[in-house]
Amino acid sequence: MIWNPFRKKTIDPDRNIVDKLANDLQDKGQIDKLEDGLLQIKKDPLNEKETESWHHLYGICAFQRGEHELASDRFKEGLDACPESSQIRFSLAQEYIFLGLPDKAFPLFDECLFPKVSREFTLAMSRYAYLFSEYERGIKYLNRFFEIYKEVKILDDHFLYVRGLPFFGTAWSHLAAHCILSDNKETLKSVTSDISSCCHDYDFDFLKTELAAILDNDFRKMIELLHSRQDGIRKYNGSTSYNDFKIALFESFSSKTFQEALDKINSVELSNNDFPWLEDIRTLAKAEAAHRFNHDSERELVGSFLDNQSMLFEPDHAVSFGLLGYQEVIKPHVEIVAANKSLRPTSH
């Protein structure tokens, strides 16, 4: 081939100098310099991946400053430049959520079905569908997970995680929330039956009992089973506090007085090794008990809970702890606000 000095240099389609910039700044603890770094990159010679990353990160920079109108403008520009980008489409939809425009957000989410976007983005879409009572959409967003579970047939947590899938229990509890709240129990029963018949590496006895408890809204069914798991849990991780806590909450649902319910809810001491958000579950359970017994403390307890969980608990946590119904009671008090961790530079 004769050398041609006027021929344009071919750009490596797999190169991504934009991601490299973001990752380098992240490693150095200088992510606050990302926007300046992006503006110093000439966009003309960027390949498709780099162009998508540039627009996505440029929008995230505005988002993380709380400048949501500017962020939405940047994501719209990015979607014009990269019309096939599901991650930019998701990010624009999320900005519409934070701007109080769910009618604009959900049609965009509808085009971001897994695996076009990550499991994290898909579960976030499920959470937004839950918050805005778009339950049929929530089911639609989750459906692909269950199709893949039936294809791979293995529900081991590690196996699923390394393949970019959510833990089965997480996805199933999300689905349960949408099915219960939309009175679509047959879908939940059908999916559970199909998965149980063809998959393995999961405790299906537990799943069957949990399904019955959720369908009947009677978590006494879970108490005996949770007690029977104590020795195995103790042998596996040395602590049963999470399991003890769940038992105590389920027992509190049958309490005859508000004080009896409080005593049950407060009976388990959580350790530093337990999830910090479990204390918020405790607060929510106390608020539920106050609501059930028409106690004056409910307003204060709800306020304390929302101070820490302004967008309520994710639907899987609400289902798992038997608090889905009560979250529906307090849902009208929720103001959807931006949580900066939802859109961070490492999420693309």
Q: Over pLDDT 70: what percentage of the chain?
A: 93
List the one residue out of 294, 270, 271, 299 whose CA is nearest residue 282.
270
- Whether the ω angle into residue 115 lies within 30 degrees of 0, i.e. cis, is yes
Residue-wise pLDDT for 294-319, tens only, equals: 999 999 999 999 999 999 999 999 99
What's the mean pLDDT in 74-88? 97
pLDDT band at 55 (very low <50, low <70, confident <90, very high): very high
pLDDT of residue 342: 47
Phi, psi of 200 (to 5 degrees): -145, -175
pLDDT band at 251 (very low <50, low <70, confident <90, very high): very high
Higher pLDDT, 63 or 337: 63
Exposure of 50 by Cβ count < 10 A (0-12 exposed, 13-18 middle, 19+ buried)? buried
Q: Over pLDDT 90: what percentage of the chain?
A: 86
List the one residue out of 137, 150, 163 whose CA is nearest residue 315.
137
As given in the structure block, the two tokens for residue 172 are: 């199933």
Measured CA to CA, the distance from residue 200 to residue 194 in angstroms comes to 12
In this structure, which amino acid lies at residue 165? Answer: L
As given in the structure block, the two tokens for residue 343 are: 């859109």
As given in the structure block, the two tokens for residue 334 are: 């929720």
Q: Which helix (H) or strand (E) holds 226?
A: helix 220-228
Measured CA to CA, the distance from residue 171 to residue 334 in angstroms comes to 23
Higher pLDDT, 249 or 338: 249
Residue-wise pLDDT for 235-247, tens only, equals: 777 788 999 999 9
pLDDT of residue 326: 98
As given in the structure block, the two tokens for residue 313 are: 């608990």
Residue-wise pLDDT for 159-186, tens only, equals: 999 999 999 999 999 999 999 999 999 9
pLDDT of residue 43: 77
pLDDT of residue 235: 76
pLDDT band at 343 (very low <50, low <70, confident <90, very high): very low
Q: Say whether pLDDT at 269 is over 50.
A: yes
Residue-wise pLDDT for 196-212, tens only, equals: 999 999 999 999 999 99
Measured CA to CA, the distance from residue 76 to residue 89 in angstroms comes to 8
As given in the structure block, the two tokens for residue 5 are: 């000095």
List the one residue out of 51, 27, 31 whose CA is nearest residue 41.
51
pLDDT band at 13 (very low <50, low <70, confident <90, very high): confident
**R_g (Cα) of the chain, nearest Å:** 23
Measured CA to CA, the distance from residue 137 to residue 82 in angstroms comes to 25
pLDDT band at 9 (very low <50, low <70, confident <90, very high): low
pLDDT band at 3 (very low <50, low <70, confident <90, very high): low
Crossing angle of helices 168-181 and 204-216, rounded to 10° = 20
In this structure, which amino acid lies at residue 300? Answer: E
pLDDT band at 44 (very low <50, low <70, confident <90, very high): confident
Q: Say whether pLDDT at 139 is over 80.
A: yes
List the one residue out of 109, 101, 104 whose CA is nearest residue 126.
109
Where would I find the H helices in 82-203?
86-98, 102-109, 119-131, 135-152, 157-161, 168-181, 185-198
What's the mean pLDDT in 69-97? 97
Q: Are 249 and 264 in contact (CB under 8 A)?
A: yes
Q: Say whether pLDDT at 341 is over 50.
A: no
pTM for this entry: 0.90
Q: Are 252 and 264 in contact (CB under 8 A)?
A: yes
pLDDT of residue 245: 97
Q: Are 176 and 189 in contact (CB under 8 A)?
A: no
Backbone φ/ψ region at 15: left (φ over 0), alpha (ψ -120 to 50), beta: beta
